[in-house]
């Protein structure tokens, strides 16, 4: 699940994003681990060795990646947005005690009976969050 520098550059280019140093660092953090990270965690990870990326750039970059379809937002915690490097359709298990987020493959879960949308509307996505907690 880790990417070489070349692969990351190609990935950004494919999405029309100029591969700057900071963007590569952020992309590396996102794609080198299969976790759901919040902006502040990414900021910390990216600056672990040498502080070289600002808060503003992390937010700019995450929004850019999201707009370009490189990553996806996961909205389960009212306190912060998590970013998911997996843009394939899938869903989430959310541990309300610990805040831990786990993937549920899309093919495991099927939804039937989707309501008809108002005319002129299209579905952008279906997010399913299964909230769990310790007994």
Give the binding site for its own copies (CB under 8 A).
73, 75-78, 80-81, 93, 95-96, 104, 107-115, 117-118, 120-135
Residue 99 interacts, among its own copies, DNA, none and using kind-specific CB cut-offs from 5 to 8 Å, with none
Nearer to its own copies (CB atom), residue 48 or residue 107: 107
C-beta closer to DNA: residue 23 or 72? 23
Shortest gap between Cβ of 4 and its own copies (angstroms)? 32
In 92-122, which positions are buried (b, 16+ CB within 10 angstroms) versus exposed (e)?
A: bebeeeeeebebeeeeeeeeeeeeeeeeeee
Scan residues 72-91 and list those touching DNA (CB under 7 A). 78-81
* Burial (CB count within 10 angstroms: exposed 0-12, middle 13-18, buried 19+), residue 66: middle
Binding site for DNA (CB under 7 A): 17-23, 38-40, 52-57, 59-61, 63, 78-81
């Amino acid at each position: 699940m880790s990417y070489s520098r070349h692969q990351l550059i190609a990935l950004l280019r494919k999405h029309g994003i100029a591969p700057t140093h900071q963007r590569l660092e952020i992309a590396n953090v996102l794609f080198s681990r299969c976790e759901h990270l919040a902006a502040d965690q990414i900021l910390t990870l990216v600056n672990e060795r040498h502080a070289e990326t600002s808060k503003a750039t992390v937010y700019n970059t995450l929004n850019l990646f999201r707009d370009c379809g490189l990553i996806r937002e996961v909205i389960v915690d009212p306190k912060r947005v998590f970013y998911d490097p997996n843009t394939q359709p899938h869903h989430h298990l959310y541990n309300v005690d610990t805040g831990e987020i786990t993937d549920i493959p899309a093919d495991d879960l099927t939804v039937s009976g989707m309501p008809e949308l108002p005319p002129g509307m299209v579905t952008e996505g279906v997010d399913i969050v299964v909230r769990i907690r310790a007994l």
